[in-house]
Homo-oligomer: A and B are copies of this chain.
Amino acid sequence: MSIQRFGTTKRYSDSVVHSGTVYLVEVPATETGDIATQTQSLLAGVERLLAQAGSDKSRLLMVTVYLADLADYDGMNAIWDAWLPPDCAPTRACVQARLARPGWRVEMAVVAATSIVS
């Protein structure tokens, strides 16, 4: 069983596929903007990465949401709830944690099913 990587740099890949599962981590494309803007940016990125890896947002398995400030919890959820297709929600952890860039308000680690046979 081989491994398929997308967007690989020296430090990390955008996503990695193995054995019918895709792993990816995404951050907002912007370091400015409120939580709605940043969550929309991040989830648009997740959708692109999922598509690239042969998956989509109806096949999420587990998501870890890191919020720089839990005061953004409701704002993040408003975008998240509207973004998810019905009856497809993954299991999800959500905690507060300081993120690598001070402007980021949210980061997500995603595990999803994919139809790519690597």
A positions within 8 Å CB-CB of B: 1, 3, 5, 8-16, 18-21, 23-25, 59-62, 64, 66, 70, 73, 77, 80-81, 84, 86-100, 107, 109, 111, 113
Copies in the complex: 3
Query: With A25-B62, A84-B10 in contact, is A1–B16 under 8 Å at CB?
Result: no
Interface contact A99-B90, CB-CB below 8 Å: no
Determine the distance from Cα of A77 to Cα of B77 in the docked complex, in whole angstroms: 31
Instruction: Give the Cβ gap from A73 to chain B, nearest Cβ, in Å.
Output: 6
Instruction: Give the Cβ gap from A110 to chain B, nearest Cβ, in Å.
Output: 9
Determine the distance from Cα of A25 to Cα of B61 in the docked complex, in whole angstroms: 11
Determine the distance from Cα of A18 to Cα of B54 in the docked complex, in whole angstroms: 16
